[in-house]
Chains A and B, each alone.
Chain A
């Protein structure tokens, strides 16, 4: 019998394939739990030793199939699994009456803590030790190893939600599509799916019932998962597979009538910037500088910062690079800036607000940006995240100018900033709309909560009205530039709407450049304006999306 699950399509594509479930995360055993009833310390030690050998053998086998860096990492983790010192300290705990799971958990914890204390590269390896530990505990419990399942055949990955650590090991050649029962359109699952170009559906409640080997049709365009696909689904998947190849992005974003819409890229590092430049990006619309800070327990030095920013600037000589100053807090905590005990971090001291609690970090960052700017040919703009008032925008612009940075702007993420964009733009040079946070704050819906996925959709007419208000404010302030650098800009249909609402530039993940450019070239400005009115007048996000998509025939041609 065929079963149908409805979710939110967050990355286009239609495929049929076989399901592999993401194993449940390994829950920690109780601290110092005793030996199982009827077992002896000798028997338990033997069980532990066998489990470590089994995990080491599995990792060795995977290492044999891998190449390059992945092989080296797997080999090293295999050695960690069979490490004699680790086994010895765990066995000592077993001898004192602790069960194998709790013993290996505690022993590995001590090693990971020691590596973390060494800092830098070794601290990163602490994560490998914890991964090996989870694998050993999974082996002891007789449950599947955590992490993306291993398979020879490409599969559809079904999960509750995916964490950044899971998606980092996701091999796009092995995964056909992503389906999660939780998570919203702005979740990590959605972001990674779009960046890898994989069809994905999130918040598909009920898909927890899908089991390994189930044959399903996944429709990332309409947000559907159908078990036991029939002829109709096969036809849709085949049509998608035969879609017309997207023309490569020419490097000039424009509408059919020649109206220019520069298409920029969001980047987090120098390597990223090189790839974005190669993909034709006309500049950087969002440089996420926190990537230079994350994982550090203290502020990076002036020279470290100059080098990190310079690596990005070097990729875009003569082009615009918009640098967002440190955006710490909420889902990106930094020990030296943010207070982890806040009851509600998304509404707490984050983004620009950390300048109040930790003055000096922002000024030093601006000085490093200014120095890097002086050493390269890129045109550097800076902007602050989480600005809520015109006076904050003014203070930031003054700090930037004092550091020698001529062009200073504001992110529009807080609804108050969208409403007062005109006032804000009398005090700074440009704004850039961060649609992910603007949506979460406008709809009062946590980005990561699957249950609120319908609210957390940038197609929500209220969000689009705030984009329109921002564009109107920019007009009133003398036609100052308005960009969008959230995930919304990467949705080709929504990109048309944003341009129609008066947005000047769009910044996105480099993979979205070609599809967005192709669809923009099929409409002229009056059409984009007409479509944006349809979206503004719609009664729901779904209705807005459907009404606009129905008018964009080219989406089907390219399978978008």
Chain B
């Protein structure tokens, strides 16, 4: 299983707009991606393409999260998704 940590770069946390951008990208990824707060057990990881799960995660600016995926293209997909999490979308 591929795994990648990311630090939330959005100043307002993983709220509606950044969560929407990320959920859309996760839904388009060729593999199923999960997201969890760092330190949470793997089986509590949530569907990364679910905006409601992302918002319910309560990840604030600076929170470390873990992305996981399996299958072909997993590494590249996680890399791309981590980059989205680390960007401050409200600074655009």
Which of B12, B20, B50 meets A76, CB within 8 Å?
B20
Judge whether A125 and B16 touch: CB under 8 Å: yes
- The A60-82 residues at the B interface (CB cut-off 8 A) are 72-73, 75-76, 79-80
**B23 on the interface (CB 8 Å rule)?**
yes
Chain B residues contacting A58 (CB-CB under 8 Å) are none
Nearest Cβ on chain B to A201's Cβ, whole angstroms? 37
Q: Are A76 and B58 in contact (CB under 8 A)?
A: no
Which single member of A73, A84, A111 contacts B16 (CB below 8 Å)?
A73
Partner among A85, A121, A122, A125 whose Cβ is within 8 Å of the Cβ of B47: A85
CB distance from A126 to the nearest CB of B (A): 10
Q: A75-B20, A118-B56 are in contact. List 7 more A-B contacts (CB 8 A).
A: A79-B51, A85-B52, A86-B52, A111-B56, A115-B56, A122-B58, A129-B52
Interface residues of A (CB under 8 A from B): 72-73, 75-76, 79-80, 83-86, 111, 114-115, 118, 121-122, 125, 128-129
Complex Cα–Cα for A85 and B53 (A): 7
Partner of B20, one of A72, A86, A115, A121: A72
Whether B20 lies near A79 (C-beta < 8 A) is yes
Q: Is the CB of B56 within 8 A of A79?
A: no
Tell me, in angstroms, the Cα distance from A121 to B16 when the chains sit together. 9
Contact A72 to B47, CB < 8 A, known contacts A111-B52, A111-B56 = no
Residues of chain B contacted by A86 (CB below 8 angstroms): 50, 52
Bound together, the chains give a CA A354 to CA B1 distance in angstroms of 58
In the complex, which range does the number of interface residues on chain B fall in?
A: 10 to 19
B16 touches A72 (CB 8 A): yes
> Chain A CB within 10 Å — which of B13, B20, B24 has the most?
B20
Chain A residues within an 8 Å CB radius of B4: none
**Residue B15 at the A interface, CB < 8 A?**
yes
**Interface pair A121/B56, CB less than 8 Å apart:** no
State the CA gap A125–B58 with chains docked (Å).
12
Residues of B with C-beta under 8 A to A76: 16-17, 19-20, 51
Q: Is the CB of B51 within 8 A of A115?
A: no
Contact present for B58 and A80 (CB under 8 Å): no
A83 to B55, CA, bound (A): 12
**Given that A73-B16, A79-B24 are known contacts, is A118 also in contact with B58, CB under 8 Å in the complex?**
yes
* Chain B, range 24-55, C-beta contacts under 8 Å to A: 24, 46-47, 49-53, 55
A sample of 26 cross-chain residue pairs with beta-carbon separation below 8 angstroms, ordered by A number, consists of A72-B17, A73-B16, A76-B16, A76-B19, A79-B20, A79-B23, A80-B51, A80-B52, A83-B52, A83-B53, A84-B47, A84-B49, A84-B50, A85-B46, A85-B50, A85-B52, A85-B53, A86-B50, A114-B56, A118-B56, A121-B12, A121-B13, A121-B15, A125-B15, A128-B16, A129-B52
Nearest residue (CB) in B for A81 is B51
Chain A residue at minimal CB-CB distance from B23: A79
Q: Which of B46, B51, B56 has the most CB of A within 10 A?
A: B51
A85 to B52, CA, bound (A): 8
**When A75-B20, A79-B24, A115-B55 are in contact, do A122 and B15 touch as well, CB less than 8 Å?**
yes
The interface residues of chain B lying within 8 Å CB-to-CB of A72 are 16-17, 20
Partner of A122, one of B20, B46, B55: B55
Residue among B51, B52, B53, B58 with the highest chain A CB neighbour number at 10 A: B52
Give Cα A143–Cα B53 distance, bound, in whole angstroms. Answer: 29
Note all chain B residues with C-beta closer than 8 A to A115. Answer: 52, 55-56
A478 to chain B, nearest CB (A): 53
CA A378 to CA B52, docked complex, whole Å? 45
Leading 4 A-B pairs by shortest Cβ distance: A85-B50, A79-B51, A76-B20, A76-B16
| Given A114-B56, A115-B56, A122-B58; A83-B15 close (CB under 8 Å) | no
A75, B89: Cα distance in complex, Å: 15
Residues in B with CB closer than 8 Å to A122 are 15, 55, 58
How near does chain B come to A183, taking the closest CB pair, in angstroms? 32
The CA of A75 and the CA of B23, in the complex, are separated in Å by: 11
Of all chain A residues, the one with the shortest Cβ separation from B13 is A121
Q: For B56, list chain A residues within 8 Å (CB).
A: 111, 114-115, 118
Residue of A nearest to B51 (CB): A79
Given the complex of chains A and B, what is the CA–CA distance between A504 and B50 in angstroms?
58
Least CB separation from A114: chain B residue: B56
Assembled-state Cα–Cα distance A129/B55 (Å): 11
Question: What is the CB-to-nearest-CB distance from A109 to chain B, in angstroms, rounded to a whole number?
Answer: 12
- The interface residues of chain B lying within 8 Å CB-to-CB of A118 are 56, 58
Instruction: State how many angstroms separate the Cβ of A540 from the closest Cβ of chain B.
Output: 51
Assess whether A83 is in contact with B16, with CB atoms less than 8 Å apart: no
Binary contact track B48-92/A, C-beta < 8 Å → 1, others 0: 011111011010000000000000000000000000000000000
Which residue from B24, B49, B50, B55 sits with its C-beta under 8 Å from A125?
Answer: B55
Which residues of A lie under 8 Å from residue B58 when comparing CB positions? 118, 122
A79 to B46, CA, bound (A): 16
List the B side residues contacting A79 at CB < 8 Å: 20, 23-24, 51
Which chain B residue has the least Cβ–Cβ distance from A128?
B16
Question: In whole angstroms, what is the CA distance A129 to B50 when docked?
Answer: 13
A79's nearest neighbour on chain B, judged by CB, is: B51
**Complex contacts, B20 vs chain A, CB 8 Å:** 72, 75-76, 79
Complex Cα spacing A115 to B16, Å = 12
Nearest neighbor of A72 in chain B, beta-carbon distance? B17
Which chain B residue shows the least CB distance to A126?
B55
User: Nearest Cβ in chain B — how far from A193, in angstroms?
Assistant: 30
Most A CB contacts (10 A, CB to CB) among B15, B17, B55, B56 go to B55
Closest A residue, CB atoms, query B32 = A84
A118 to B12 alpha-carbon distance, docked (Å)? 14
CB distance from A241 to the nearest CB of B (A): 40
| Smallest beta-carbon distance B84→chain A, Å | 15
